[in-house]
Amino acid sequence: MTSAKPAADATRTDVLILGAGFSGLAAAAMLSRAGRLDYVILEQGNDVGGTWRENTYPGCACDIPSPLYSYSFRQNPDWRYLFAGQPEILRYLRDTGRELGITEHIRFNTTVISADWDENDRLWAVRTADGAMWQARFLVSAMGVLHHAANPKLPGIENFQGSVFHSANWDHSCDLTDKRVAVVGTGASAIQFVPAIVDRTAQLSVFQRTAPWIVPKFNRAFTEDERKQMRRNPFKRWRRRARLFWIHEQRAAGFVSDTSQMGPTKALATAHLAKQVRDPELRAKLTPDYEIGCKRLLISSEYYPALTKPHVDLVTAGIAEVRANSVIATDGSEYDADVIIFGTGFDAQNSLTRVPIRGRDGVPLGAQWASGPEAYLGTTVSGFPNLFLLCGPNTGLGHNSQVFMIEAQARYMARCIRYAGRRGVLEVKQGAQVRFNEFLQGRLSSTVWQAGGCRSWYQDPTTGRNTLLWPRSTVSYWLRTRFVQRTDYLRNA
């Protein structure tokens, strides 16, 4: 059985890249460097940036230092803050696309609705919502994992008479001035936007299911003199980046092998909470009941002070129902609300299968991942020839810059394409994929993410397997992707 025959008027290219965020631009940059293959990026939005284009909520910023949360091949001497805000990161990505000549390869406002491997022509056939058909020898899924908002289904939400929106789809037309606002969720987005909106609201009710571990955010502005030095001296840019990299890399052991090394971080977080929250009752509500690092470790110096304001309630009871103008907690308490904002994160587990991708014999990627996503080096999947996933399964991090991993994957993708040859077909062997994932899950079982006493979005909700995080140092991943282990692949399969 093969996929449906593509239309005769399909547009042909060597490589199709789905998505123009950090991953898609990195893939394009690596292909441009190789210089032998044509590529096209299909982007559903009207601009580059991915999650940094979509997330425009107040206070949106990165929690990795900007000199590190950027490409090694395009270091920016002009970062204004150590932790860059969303507008500055989006501007960096726009400039990167333009300066590297990538933007001209992007087809914006183009939504992919399916991708099928055609066994006869040994090509990927990709359909878009506008009715167009594309053919490519290689398909790169760079759609990311943090772009499908997780909207909770609250009983009675359809009866609410005010505005309801998710932080990832912020309604900027909704004026929060003197409004009674209910915030559902206390994850990475909420701890940024809550301090940004708190002083505008008449009443703020924050519904917390699980208290996060939070350490101080030591942000600062870079001076004009510092930026001038970085512009003039590439060595200083590399030295700054390297220093930040190793500071973060040293934290890996506390997450993946020796949790006792998290002691200083836990002491910092505990002291931070004690210093900023004097009320013992509120402090108790904000004290996590699981090991630090089990859920995403957050940074903020403004979140706790926001919760201590007199017009703010931290609600630790669950939500029983939503009424026309209020939210009812499971303990019977009622909280008046004119606006409900979800800070409930993303559906990361299903993000890579939102677009139907069908491999050999028309098997959907989602069906192959019935027990949760898995791939070889998080990049290639048995049964899906010439397909490469960026930000694929188990390539996420809890301690360092995701952009480092993205670059390693993009370089590996380019090496695989070079090994496949101009007319080749490359597919990872099933045995190699199984062995790799047995190694992963064996390593993950003793990490703080699995043994730290929590459930998180890192884990498949059915099996409990951690399908998102890499359980070793980023250097170890970089080393494993430096070369293509040819015995693990079928070539011209």
Q: What whole-number distance in Å separates Cα of residue 286 and Cα of residue 280?
A: 10
* Residues 6+ away with beta carbon under 8 Å from 362: 1, 2, 3, 116
pLDDT in tens, 248-296: 999 999 998 887 889 999 999 999 999 999 999 999 999 999 999 999 9
pLDDT in tens, 222-247: 999 999 999 999 999 999 999 999 99
What average pLDDT does the segment 136-158 reach? 93
What average pLDDT does the segment 341-364 reach? 92
pLDDT in tens, 166-185: 999 999 999 999 999 999 99
What average pLDDT does the segment 338-352 reach? 91
In this predicted structure, what is the pLDDT of residue 145?
Answer: 87
Backbone angles phi, psi at 43, to 5 degrees: -125, 125
Is 214's pLDDT higher than 50?
Answer: yes
pLDDT in tens, 11-43: 999 999 999 999 999 999 999 998 889 999 999
Q: What is the DSSP letter of 486?
A: G
Q: How far is CA 8 from CA 120, 134, 137, in A?
A: 14, 10, 16
Distance of CA 248 to the CA centre of its chain: 18
Q: What is the pTM of this model?
A: 0.95
pLDDT in tens, 49-90: 999 999 999 999 999 999 999 999 999 999 999 999 999 999
Range in 145-154, 317-326, 328-337, 428-437 the model is least confident about = 145-154
For residue 116, list its beta bridge partners. Answer: 125, 358
The tally of CA atoms less than 13 A away on the side-chain side of residue 180 is: 11
In this predicted structure, what is the pLDDT of residue 2?
Answer: 43
- For the chain, the average pLDDT equals 95
What average pLDDT does the segment 323-337 reach? 98
In this predicted structure, what is the pLDDT of residue 14?
Answer: 96
Return the residue matching tokens 């836990």: 266
Share of the chain above pLDDT 70, in %: 98
Q: What whole-number distance in Å separates Cα of residue 466 and Cα of residue 343?
A: 22
CB 390 within 8 A of CB 27: yes
* Residues 6+ away with beta carbon under 8 Å from 40: 11, 13, 15, 16, 17, 105, 106, 107, 134, 136
Backbone angles phi, psi at 417, to 5 degrees: -65, -40
CB 383 within 8 A of CB 427: yes
Return the residue matching tokens 């606006």: 339
Residue 166 host element (H or E): strand 163-166
In this predicted structure, what is the pLDDT of residue 421?
Answer: 87
CB 375 within 8 A of CB 434: no
What average pLDDT does the segment 448-465 reach? 92
